[in-house]
Structure 1
Amino acid sequence: MTVRNLDALFRPKSVAVIGASERPGSTGAMVWARVLEGGFEGPVWPVNPKYDTLGGRAVIGDAGDLPEAPTVALICTPPDTWPGIIHKLGGLGTRAAIIVGEVRCDEDRLALRHALSAARPHLLRIVGPGSLGVVTPALHAHFGAPSCTVKAGGVAWVSQSNALTNAVLGWAHARGLGFSHAVALGGEADVDAGDVLDYLASDPGTRAILLELDTVRAARKFMSAARAAARNKPVLALRSGRSDPADGLYTAAFRRAGMVRVDSLDDLLDEIETLGVGRVAAGATATLITSDSGLATLACDAFAAAGDTLAPWPAEADAALSEALPRAMAGNPLRLGDDARPEHFGTALKLLAEHRSTGTAFVVHASTHGAPVGEVAQALIANQRFAYRGLLACFFGGVDAATRDALHAQGIPVHTTPQRLARAFARLVDYRMGRELLMQTPEGLPAQVPEAIDAAQAQARAAIAAGEHRLTGKAATQFLERFGLRVEPQADDLNLDAAHAAVPKSTQEQVQGSTRGLAQGSTEGLTLAPMPAAVRPGTATGDCADQTAAALQKPVVDIAVELHDDDNFGPVFRFTAPPVDGVSEPLHVYGLPPLNPMLARDIVTRSRYARLIDPEPALAALTALSQAVCDVKEIVGLNLILRVFSDHVVLVEPTLSIASTRSRLAIVPYPRRFEETIDWQGLRVTVRPIRPEDEAAHHDFVESMTPEDLRLRFFGAVGSFDHSQLARMTQIDYDREMALIATVTSEDGFTRTLGVVRAVADPDNETAEFAAAVRSDQKGRRLGQLLMDRIIKYARARGIHWLVGEALRENAPMIALARSCGFTITPTEDPGVVGFRMALDEPEQT
């Protein structure tokens, strides 16, 4: 992944249009005209040997003759010219180019490859080919051929479709809405959706991101970037093609990344209004304010259909509104009455502000003689500050442009129907819930014995060396049992006839009846939830009689579990369960490993079967299967039945496909290879990567530090850390960050964190910034040196070129530690702060 030089695209200072023209209908003419109409204030240079002047500007004959390097170059020439142009621009120092032309044949594809090769030595970034362009309205930079000029706003638009981009820009323009940036990615030969998401995640001018795509080119980069972006701001995604067999996988990937999937272009457009204009805190509840009972009924129906919840009011709120507005029908929805005046809406907002539980305020109104829409809008503007969780409006019939713009200026989104308003709010709630899912602390993973994992890896490799590429029967059973999974024995492994004869005939008939129902697809049963072991205590092993008794229980459901190596996302699970009614389509749910119990719960508790069983054994089984896939890279495929009973699960007829290589997982799993246990200062210390379930221990760790040590670590006085802050410390993306902790475990099993060191790499993997902290009662025992040695080793192994850090100038121990590790101490712009810098490409000193 890389965001290198993307700032040139989004914060340009100059532009050259290569192939600028005045020939009607030509690409060069359209692009040149849009650059001029947009009013870009930096230097603009047309390049074309056929002209002396264009639009009163002197034309440059060749890209190599530009007076200086343009920040961005717009290339409107045929493909065979691209390599030469890119070579010249790169030599000048240009950092980004947008190729507007299309690739249509093999010769064009060859020219594109040569252009990419010419760009690489200069780190020149290329958008396209076939890109409509990149628009940054705040800088009046309309670089490409958008259908209209674009207003500035708070939402970024990123799309793989030129036609859809033009349609959305035109729709927004007609409604006075704008964008922070608009990007048409084109062919994504270099800059892709993951790169742009990575940049926009930290862009201060972008409050939300709307993403339209059909496919993902680099799944790991995309997932990492999307997860980072969704932690900071709403990311909504539209993908067409619900009939596509892989569509369910995209739904799972979006959800795993914390993005909100929208079902239609209309929904995505509504979010330009909601997110680009308003600053709405999407709580779970809202209060509806209207004048008419009929409108109230329509709005309530819309809210119910969208899954929104109207807030229950405290009695004090009812009493206050009844006293101030005696003709109103207090309660939620609040009906002000047919004779309501504009000021009554303002009064309602003021009074509700005192009762935080009433949530976000929604005003739904149709113009009346006593309360014209324009005057009600002015009352909302005057009292908007009282809506502490935000204010959204729905005016039937719409409003005039001046009123709309006035509402927008005060951060009040305006929708035309209650349905659109309710759905827009529901998506904000979905985002909040998805973000909370990202930040939840999962239960601990099953504690797998490293020797068992090593044995499983050895078994897979030995089979491959022997020319075997499938594990079935006893081999598959042995493999899976290493991960705590229980496999149902084959019929020839048990003397089932003898056991069957010992069972009463009535019981035999009951079991046979349940088996017939299962075969007919009429059973009930998918269920799953979290637990740290694949089966309940005592069920993993047992004698023949125990296993026979378990077999005679009626299963709740058989779930088909498959693992396949997807072209985009690498190894992915698919879970299939029969329908509840035996008639509907089976339930298909995808899951991206690694799974933990919390993520497994999220995958399956959407099923209607979850209430029928104790879900924990099933969730634990899925988590253990995920661990097997993550720990044994030779697994490329898997097929089995997860037979779910009311209180336990078993695997039936497992088949594992194995190979020496497979695709990368889309999400980097816990890197067990960095674990080590050592004897240190009389203690048995484990140094390992931090895990999400370390949150409680990390809370104790930071609480144990003195206020002065916390001030030196965080460059200022800090109080306590809340869950969201601790989640960011413990739930890291191992693809771009590493935090190594030193822990000790007491006799009672409590794990205590003694110190932590972390390194966060930039998306280019060029530089990583480190930070370290040690418990105050462990200072002076060289624990910091131990951790620093390991993070330096990690950074070198990752291929990072520079490790950097900072400390307050008064932090003498940290400065001494950095110096002893080989860092160069450097000044910074802040006289109270010193910098550390180490070149990791240089050989280690011995």
Structure 2
Amino acid sequence: MTVRNLDAVFQPKSVAVIGASQRPGSIGNMVWQRLIEGGFDGPLFAVNPRHAGDFAQFDGRPVVADAGDLPEAPTVALICTRPSTWPALVHRLGGMGTRAAIILGEVKNDEDRADLRHALAAARPHLLRIVGPGSLGALTPALNAQLGAAATVARKGGVAWVSQSNALTNAVLRWAGARGLGFSHVIALGDEADVDVGDVLDYLASDPTTRAILLEVDGIRAARKFMSAARAAARNKPVLALRSGRDDPGDALYSAAFRRAGLVRVDTLDDLLDEIETLGVGRVAASDSATLVTSDRGVATLARDAFNKAGDTLAAWSDEARAAVAAALPHAQAGNPLVLGDTARPEHFGLALQTLASQRSTGTAFVVHAPTHSAPVEQVARTLIEHQRFAYRGMLACFFGGVDEATRDALHAHGIPVHTTPRRLARAFARLVDYRLGRELLMQTPESLPAQGMAAIDVALGIARGALAAGRAALEGEEATQLLKAFGLETAPQQASATAVVDVTVTFRDDENFGPVFHFEAPSPDGFSPPMRVYSLPPLNPVLSRDIVTQSPYARRASPAPTLAALTALSQAVCEVREIVGMRLTLRVLPDAAVVVAPRIELADKRSRFAIMPYPRRLEETIDWHGERLTIRPIRPEDEEMHRAFVESMTPDDLRLRFFSAVRSFDHTQLARMTQIDYDREMALVASVPGEDGRPHTLGVVRAVADPDNETAEFAVTVLSTLKGRGLGRLLMERIIGYVRSRGTHWLLGEALRENAPMIALARAMGFTVTPTDDPGVVGFRMPLD
């Protein structure tokens, strides 16, 4: 995974068009004209041997015969020539210092594919990134950088569009342009020979100009990379995904992957387009509920029906809210929907918003308006703009029949999305709620996992490895039972049980793309509704297992705890015993228990990597330290409360030295970010000892976060001030340095306040070079790991 040099694509400083042309209809002409129309004001060069000369120019820009004749290395090159020219061009551009190339031409045959392979090989030594081939291009409207052959110039906005389809990208650009909507970035990836969806998600996750990401994909090639990038992006901003092919047998797996990554899946292109309006324009913090404000009873009924169909919830007003609205608007129907009456004037809409502002129980404000003589559209719109500040959770508006361009642009400029029907409004809000709930699932603190002792795990490993050594690739009967029993799973006879709520067929397999996956299937509960078919990506914990169980129509017929424990135990088994490559069994759910029936386990020496990395138990160790048993291990999601206690036990000065500013406390979201990490990108090792209450107490933490290129990692270490000088910081630093070096990271970096003499002394003792930084109050640390 890498975001290296993607800033050259999305923030170009200079551009060269290789194969630029003034022949109408040619790719070179379309690309050149789009750059000129977009108004790119950086250095712009044309390369075309047929038009080059001492005084040759295209639109006042110089034309050279060869890329090697360019007066400087362009940040990015747009290649519009045939495939046979790609290898030499990429080699020459890379040698000059060009950092990225967008290839617009397509690969059509084996000869073209060979040329592409040679071009990729030529790019690699220079770290030059390639978008495409077959890419429509990349657009950054805020910089007037319209790189490619898009059908129209894109406007500036807050949403990024990422697509594998040139045709859809063109259609979306036209649709958005006609409605005055814009983008932070637009990219059509083409064949993804180098830069792929995961790379772009990684870049956009930390892009400050992008408030939300809209993703259109047919398939994912590098699932591990995609899942890691998607989870990182979804923690920061809404990511909505559209994938066509609901009838594809593997589509349910994509739904499971999107859900696990915190993405909101949409069903239609219309839904995705609506979010350009809602997310690109609005500043809406979606609550669980909303209040509908309108002047007409019939409109109120339509809006309420649309709201209910979308699965949204109208806010239940408090008695105080009803009284406040009744006093402010005596002629209105003080309820939800809030009906202002047929004679309502524009100022009544403003008064309603102002009154609701102090009533937090009323949720997000929805204004649904059909024009009347007493409340013309333009005047109501102006009132909404004037009172927008009162909508503390933001505002969404629907104007039947639409609004004129000037009114629309004015509403957009003040962060008010405008939809044309209550249905579109309601569905847009539903997706905002879905994102918030999905993000909460990502940030959940799971209940503590049942700790499986290493002795039990060794038993399971011994059974699997013993079978493989004996030349057997499957376990059944007693052997399979004993392996699962090591993880707390109980088995039952194969015959049917009269008390069974449902028999769930559980399959575990190694998917060629997403790696190890579970599939759960249960029959229809009534013979009419469809059977339950759910995919899930391990590792699972009780919270994620609960998300699976709630999708079952049988969820309320049995106590959930045994099923949650069984699903979590199955996940632990496949995480700890890497030799398990397949599994099939029946999970018999009883009213107060869940047992395994007829397990069959397939074994092999090797399987694919998990799409989501499980807890790295191999890094756990317990040592004698100053007369105590000190445990050093990777941080886990269930450590949140222990981590909270650790932070609260630090002195204000310790916190200031660690976080470079005064810190009083951390909320759940901040602590969740510290304890729920992607083990493939980040590592945090905690040192703890048993307290008087028998529970572990954290004494110190060391953390390292690698960049997506794995070129550098940044570290931070914290030890309780009462323990400084006892060698704990050095113990933790030795282990994090060893871990980062084992990952192949090239440099370990850090920073400290200049007054933090103990940290600076420790860094020097560990072999870091101490250097000044741009901030005179901060010093930097740097250590080569190669």
- What TM-score, normalized by structure 1, do the two folds share? 0.91
2:725 to 770, 777, 780: 780
Moved more, 325-334 or 690-699: 325-334
Matching residue of 1:42: 42
Matching residue of 2:662: 717
Matching residue of 1:504: none
Kindly report which structure 2 residues correspond to 1:351-500, keeping only aligned pairs within 5 A, or say none. Answer: 351-489=355-493
Q: Which deviations, in whole Å up to 9, do the C-alpha atoms of 1:391-435 show, x marking residues without a partner?
A: 110000000000000000000000000000000001001101111
Alpha-carbon distance in structure 2 between the residues aligned to 1:72 and 1:604? 49
Matching residue of 1:25: 25
1:277 to 267, 276, 281: 281
Q: CA deviation at 1:489?
A: 4.4
1:225 to 224, 229, 247: 229
Q: Which deviations, in whole Å up to 9, do the C-alpha atoms of 1:39-67 show, x marking residues without a partner?
A: 10101111011113333433111111111
Matching residue of 1:529: none
Contact 2:306 2:422 in 1 (8 A): yes
Alpha-carbon distance in structure 1 between the residues aligned to 2:686 and 2:698? 7
Contact 2:532 2:553 in 1 (8 A): no
Aligned to 2:492, the other structure's residue is in SS state: coil
Matching residue of 2:342: 338
Matched, 1:806 2:751: yes
Contact 1:589 1:604 in 2 (8 A): no
In structure 2, runs of 5+ residues without a counterpart are: none
Alpha-carbon distance in structure 2 between the residues aligned to 1:699 and 1:319? 41
Alpha-carbon distance in structure 2 between the residues aligned to 1:384 and 1:584? 45
Matching residue of 1:70: 74
Matching residue of 1:572: 517
Matched, 1:838 2:776: no
Matching residue of 1:770: 715
Matching residue of 2:101: 97
Matching residue of 1:8: 8
Give the counterpart letter for 1:175 in structure 2: R
Q: CA deviation at 1:799?
A: 0.7
Matching residue of 2:576: 631
2:740 to 786, 795, 806: 795
Moved more, 611-620 or 190-199: 611-620
| Structure 1 moving runs of 4+ over 6 Å | none
Matching residue of 2:612: 667
Alpha-carbon distance in structure 2 between the residues aligned to 1:747 and 1:582? 57
Kindly report which structure 2 residues correspond to 1:129-168, keeping only aligned pairs within 5 A, or say none. Answer: 129-168=133-172
Aligned to 2:565, the other structure's residue is in SS state: helix
Q: CA deviation at 1:747?
A: 5.8
Matched, 1:126 2:130: yes
Give the counterpart letter for 1:629 in structure 2: V
Are residues 125 and 580 of structure 1, via their aligned partners in 2, closer, same or farther at CA, if it must alter by over 3 Å? same
Give the counterpart letter for 1:666 in structure 2: A
Kindly report which structure 2 residues correspond to 1:131-210, keeping only aligned pairs within 5 A, or say none. Answer: 131-210=135-214
Alpha-carbon distance in structure 1 between the residues aligned to 2:755 and 2:445? 36
Q: Which deviations, in whole Å up to 9, do the C-alpha atoms of 1:767-789 show, x marking residues without a partner?
A: 00000111222222111111001
Contact 1:253 1:592 in 2 (8 A): yes
Give the counterpart letter for 2:220 in structure 1: V
Q: CA deviation at 1:321?
A: 2.4
Matching residue of 1:603: 548
Matching residue of 2:640: 695
Moved more, 560-569 or 443-452: 443-452
Alpha-carbon distance in structure 2 between the residues aligned to 1:322 and 1:709? 53
Q: Which deviations, in whole Å up to 9, do the C-alpha atoms of 1:634-657 show, x marking residues without a partner?
A: 111110000111111111111111
Alpha-carbon distance in structure 2 between the residues aligned to 1:312 and 1:22? 63
Matching residue of 1:216: 220
Alpha-carbon distance in structure 2 between the residues aligned to 1:816 and 1:668? 35
Aligned to 2:366, the other structure's residue is in SS state: strand
Contact 1:134 1:144 in 2 (8 A): yes
Give the counterpart letter for 1:815 in structure 2: I
Matching residue of 1:79: 83
Give the counterpart letter for 1:446 in structure 2: P
Q: CA deviation at 1:178?
A: 0.1
Alpha-carbon distance in structure 2 between the residues aligned to 1:45 and 1:16? 5
Matching residue of 1:543: none
Moved more, 291-300 or 15-24: 15-24
Give the counterpart letter for 1:720 in structure 2: S
Give the counterpart letter for 2:578 in structure 1: K
Q: Which deviations, in whole Å up to 9, do the C-alpha atoms of 1:576-614 show, x marking residues without a partner?
A: 011111233321001100000110101121222111111
In structure 1, runs of 5+ residues without a counterpart are: 492-514, 516-551, 842-846
2:686 to 694, 716, 741: 741
Alpha-carbon distance in structure 2 between the residues aligned to 1:118 and 1:744? 53
Q: CA deviation at 1:360?
A: 0.9
Matched, 1:652 2:597: yes
Matching residue of 1:57: 61
Q: CA deviation at 1:132?
A: 0.4
Moved more, 828-837 or 745-754: 745-754
Alpha-carbon distance in structure 2 between the residues aligned to 1:480 and 1:360? 49
Q: CA deviation at 1:455?
A: 2.7
Aligned to 2:335, the other structure's residue is in SS state: coil
Contact 2:238 2:263 in 1 (8 A): yes
Aligned to 1:298, the other structure's residue is in SS state: helix
Contact 2:3 2:199 in 1 (8 A): yes
Give the counterpart letter for 2:169 in structure 1: T
Contact 1:98 1:127 in 2 (8 A): yes
- What TM-score, normalized by structure 2, do the two folds share? 0.98
Aligned to 2:520, the other structure's residue is in SS state: strand
Alpha-carbon distance in structure 1 between the residues aligned to 2:537 and 2:691? 35
Contact 1:553 1:645 in 2 (8 A): no
Contact 1:803 1:839 in 2 (8 A): yes
Contact 2:38 2:145 in 1 (8 A): yes
Give the counterpart letter for 1:445 in structure 2: L
Contact 2:5 2:128 in 1 (8 A): yes
Contact 2:234 2:261 in 1 (8 A): yes
Matched, 1:286 2:290: yes
Alpha-carbon distance in structure 2 between the residues aligned to 1:371 and 1:485? 67
Are residues 490 and 311 of structure 1, via their aligned partners in 2, closer, same or farther at CA, if it must alter by over 3 Å? closer
Alpha-carbon distance in structure 2 between the residues aligned to 1:150 and 1:489? 64
**Root-mean-square deviation (CA), in Å?**
1.1
Aligned to 1:59, the other structure's residue is in SS state: strand
Are residues 478 and 816 of structure 1, via their aligned partners in 2, closer, same or farther at CA, if it must alter by over 3 Å? same
Moved more, 664-673 or 577-586: 577-586
Alpha-carbon distance in structure 1 between the residues aligned to 2:60 and 2:699? 69
Aligned to 1:806, the other structure's residue is in SS state: strand
Alpha-carbon distance in structure 2 between the residues aligned to 1:21 and 1:565? 50
Kindly report which structure 2 residues correspond to 1:300-339, keeping only aligned pairs within 5 A, or say none. Answer: 300-339=304-343
Alpha-carbon distance in structure 1 between the residues aligned to 2:708 and 2:172? 30
Alpha-carbon distance in structure 2 between the residues aligned to 1:80 and 1:6? 25
Contact 1:38 1:142 in 2 (8 A): yes
Alpha-carbon distance in structure 1 between the residues aligned to 2:718 and 2:117? 47
Give the counterpart letter for 1:4 in structure 2: R
Report which of the two structures shows the higher radius of gyration computed on alpha carbons. Answer: 1
Moved more, 773-782 or 431-440: 773-782
Contact 1:704 1:776 in 2 (8 A): no
Matching residue of 1:507: none
Alpha-carbon distance in structure 2 between the residues aligned to 1:270 and 1:233? 17
